[in-house]
Each structure stands twice: as structure tokens, then as C-alpha cells.
Amino acid sequence: MTEQITQIKKVNVGQETFKVILKMIMSGKWKQGEKIPSENEFKDMLGVSRHTVRAALNNLNMLGIVETRQGDGNYLKFMGIGLYMDFLIPYLFINEENINTIMEFREGIESITARYAALRATPADIEDLKEKLEKCNRTIDDVENYLAADFDFHYAIAKISKNDLLIQSMYVVKKYCFEALTKYVNKAISVDGTKRHKGIFKAISEHNPDEAEDHMNKHILKVIEMIND
């Protein structure tokens, strides 16, 4: 039986294509060193242009997740944390020019992270995440401390996912992006973020992966919108 794969909606196509291919990789669809579908195969599979697929694969290549072998195709690269960090850390030194880039990266990564957290959360995980949520609530009027609490909340979700690559991605975001993001966070963002955190927490605690992914996706997109206002 042919596996059914949802085709990409014609909205934010490049970003969605990157997210879907990354999600396939994170799900273990291909093993380390295994050849992944060609640009044409992904094009037909996802219903997008070859150019869009190539851009998504180039991003994955740049992050050290996929390796392109000239004349042979694309392969899932060795995913050791050290190698991943070598590729990712320089990319995440951010400034005003690429703040949207890192937030879009977070939207793709964290939506998947929330999904796996909802699938894998233990009672202890949920209790810890609840404490992180409460800290966000307590610091809503203190922008700098709120941002620290916000990162702790998101990093806790990554740890709940039990996926080393996702955890390391959020560790890098937390470690290298904190200072750059402080200038963008204000009271409106902290109020909206805390409200959306509650929806994310509820979905994870109820083990609802679709809702968790959707709430996280909307949360990050709203932050991007507010940063650009």
C-alpha cells in the first residue's frame, strides 16, 4: 500500500516544506547514512516546486542534517550532537537583520518539539512544565526575567520530547539568542506569550500532539508578527 503523505498547502510553502521534511527526518523515517528521496520525488510527494524542495534541502544541508553527494543524491548525515552544534551555532549568532530567520527556524523546530512532548510526557514532566509555566506568569511584568522564564519553558518542552537533536537545538537557541531577543520583548509579547503557553501546556498535559503542535506554531508566528509591528 502506498503511504499517504499530506501535500503542502500553498501558504508559506518554503517554510512548510522545510518543516515537513524535517519532521520526516525527526520521526526516524530514514536511518543515518540512508539515501533520502530526490528533489523530484519530494516535489511529487509534497506537491510543491522543485525549486522549493531544493531550498529546503539546502537549509538542511547547511545545518549538517543532510549531505549532498554530487551525482548521487542526498543522504541523512551522521547526527552526532557535536557535528550538529558545529553547523548550527554559527548560524544562530543573530542580529537585527536575521531575527526573523531565527524565529522562523524556531517555529519549525518547536512545533515538532511540542508534538513529541505531548506524545512522550510523563507525570513528572508535566509537573515540571507546570512550574515553568507558573514562573512565566509571575514574571509577566518584568521583561528580562520573563524572557528567561520563557526560554526555560520552551527548553523544558524540548527535554520532554526525549529527542537529543531537538533538545540541543533549543539549548543553542537559549544559550546564544537570549541577549539578542531582549530588545524585542515587551509587555504585550509577555502577556500574549503567557496566554499561549497555557494552551501549549494544556495540550501537552492532555497528550494531544495535534493541539500542542498547533498552539506552538501559532505562538511563534504571533511573536514574529509582534516583533515586526
Domain ranges (residues) in the chain: 13-76, 81-228
Matching residue, cell 500574549 = 192
As a residue count, the chain comes to 229
Question: Does 90 score more than 70 pLDDT?
Answer: no
Q: Where are the alpha helices (DSSP H) in the chain?
A: 13-26, 39-46, 50-62, 81-91, 99-120, 123-138, 143-161, 164-182, 187-205, 209-228
92 or 171: which leads in pLDDT: 171
DSSP secondary structure letters along 157-194 = HHHHHT-HHHHHHHHHHHHHHHHHHHTT--HHHHHHHH
The three-point CA angle 56-200-133 to 5° equals 120
pLDDT digit string, tens, across residues 135-189: 999 999 988 789 889 999 999 999 999 998 888 888 777 766 666 677 788 889 9
The rounded percent of the chain whose pLDDT value lies above 90 is 47
* CB 49 within 8 Å of CB 39: no
Question: In degrees rounded to 5, what are phi and psi of residue 10?
Answer: -80, 50
- Average pLDDT score over residue span 73-86: 68
Q: b/e for 68-103, b at 16 or more Cβ within 10 A?
A: eeeeeebbbbeeeeeebeeebeebbebeeeebeebb
- pLDDT band, very low/low/confident/very high, at 81 (cuts 50, 70, 90): low
pLDDT in tens, 10-60: 457 887 898 888 878 877 788 888 999 999 999 999 999 999 999 989 888
Give me the pLDDT at residue 80, please: 56
Q: End-to-end CA distance of the chain: give it in Å, rounded.
A: 48
- Percentage of the chain beyond pLDDT 70 is 83
User: How far is residue 180's CA from residue 95's CA, in Å, rounded to a whole number?
Assistant: 6
User: What pLDDT is attached to residue 62?
Assistant: 75
Q: What is the CATH number of domain 81-228?
A: 1.20.120.530
- Two domains, one topology: 13-76 and 81-228: no
Is pLDDT above 60 for 94? no
71/68 Cα distance (integer angstroms): 9
pLDDT at 4 exceeding the cut of 60: no
Take residue 185 and report the three cell numbers written for it.
520583548
What per-residue confidence (pLDDT) applies to 1? 43
pLDDT, position 104:
80
Calculate mean pLDDT across residues 183-207: 93
**Please, what CATH class does the domain formed by 13-76 belong to?**
mainly alpha
Is the pLDDT at 196 greater than 80, yes or no?
A: yes
CA 213 – CA 199 distance, rounded (Å)? 10
**What is the average per-residue pLDDT within 199-225?**
96
